[in-house]
Structures are given as structure tokens and as C-alpha cells.
Amino acid sequence: QQQVKQSPQSLIVQKGGISIINCAYENTAFDYFPWYQQFPGKGPALLIAIRPDVSEKKEGRFTISFNKSAKQFSLHIMDSQPGDSATYFCAASREASGSARQLTFGSGTQLTVLP
Amino acid sequence: NAGVTQTPKFQVLKTGQSMTLQCAQDMNHNSMYWYRQDPGMGLRLIYYSASEGTTDKGEVPNGYNVSRLNKREFSLRLESAAPSQTSVYFCASRQGYGYTFGSGTRLTVV
């Protein structure tokens, strides 16, 4: 079963608009929530991350909103640009055996920003 | 440039063939991971290694084996490839909360 559910699967916005991607998780052992950006032919790259004791984190045009009680978090991209066109993954991290951590990904959102 | 290097970048296998995907990192990270990425399913964890000498199963380990050769290298082996293993495979290393991913191996099993 999908431990981290992500929506929408695809998103098209106009240049200058706001892109919003939503995620929900089930396992309360998750303690770190990153977002990754992936361009075609590349591996995922960390975009922004949040811990559950914080309700919002902003870095430039990117903001994470976090609702611990609802077990939901979202990524907002303000003033979206064509260069933001990529696949975005939410993820959730928890401690695992042997001092490792496990990172569980959502299913991804294909964002297209029209010029 | 420092990072995670995966080889090969592309591979086509026939059903039943075997192969090893190679991964090396030069950031002195303790933990390393193998993921597979399939359309509409995100990245799913196959195996991970918390530190040199240890390996553990992830979400989808069936049909795969791994070897943590040393601190730098973590290989993924398909003993008898199946069409269901057609995917893009990513290796990653971790320090603290930060993961660094390689650029992937696109594997097709026919």
C-alpha cells in the first residue's frame, strides 16, 4: 500500500501562477518530509524539506505547509516559471534498522508551466 | 564533481540473463540505497545499507541481491532478469537527513 499519497498526478499552470501539490501520509513514525525535483534523465534532487514541529517553511518561491494533525503536507510554488517544469515528489523519512533511515516517496506530479 | 556515479546508464537484457548495476559515491557517506522508479509509482526502495558490511531489504527486494563492497561501492544484482524488472534504477547515498542520488540506470528486459 502507498504510505505517502500524492496528488495531482499532473498539473499545468500558466507562467506566473501558483502550483500546489498535496501529499498525505499514514505512518506517524515519519519525522522528516522533503520534496524532490526531478528533470528528465536526472536523479531526484532535494528542493526543500520540513520537520513536523514546524507548520510552514519558505525558501524563495517554494513553500511547504505542514498539518501534523491531518497528516498532510503540501508544496506551493509561487510565480511559477517554465524552468520549474519537472516531476515533483514528496517524501517522508523515518528511522530504520541499523541506524539507517528510510525514505518513502509519493507517486510524483508532472508539472508543466506554460510560457 | 563529488557525487554518486552509476554504471551503466542504459542496458537491454534478455529474460533470464543476469547483470550487476554498479554504484559508487565519493562523499564518505555511511548509508547507501537502491531504488527503482516506475511510471505512476514514484521511487520504491529495493535494498539499503546502513553502513559498510550491512544490508537490509526494502519495499521490493524480490529478484534482487546487493553487495556493499566497501564504504564507497554498493552494487545491485539481477540473477535472472524478468520483464517486470524493466525500470529506471537509482542509487543514493545519505549523510544525516540529506540524500544524494545518481543519474540512474535505464534497464529494459525483453
B35 and B41 in contact (C-beta within 8 Å)? no
A interface mutation test: which of B49, B99, B100 has the most A CBs within 10 A? Answer: B99
* pLDDT (tens digit per residue) in B18-33: 999 999 999 999 999 9
Nearest to A100 among B31, B59, B102 (CB): B31
CB contact under 8 A, B99 and A103: yes
* pLDDT (tens digit per residue) in A26-65: 999 999 999 999 999 999 999 999 999 999 999 999 999 9
At residue A98 the predicted structure's pLDDT band, cuts being 50, 70 and 90, is low
CB contact under 8 A, B97 and A89: no
Nearest to A105 among B42, B48, B54 (CB): B42
**Strand duo B4-7 + B19-25: pairing:** antiparallel
Nearest to A108 among B42, B50, B92 (CB): B42
Q: Is A108 left (phi over 0), alpha (psi -120 to 50) or beta?
A: left
Amino acid, res. A41? G
Cα distances from B75 to residues A19, A69, B27, B52, B84, in angstroms, run 38, 40, 17, 12, 20
B58 and B46 in contact (C-beta within 8 Å)? yes
CA A6 to CA A110: how far, in whole Å?
11
Give residue B84's pLDDT: 97
CA B110 to CA B15: how far, in whole Å?
6
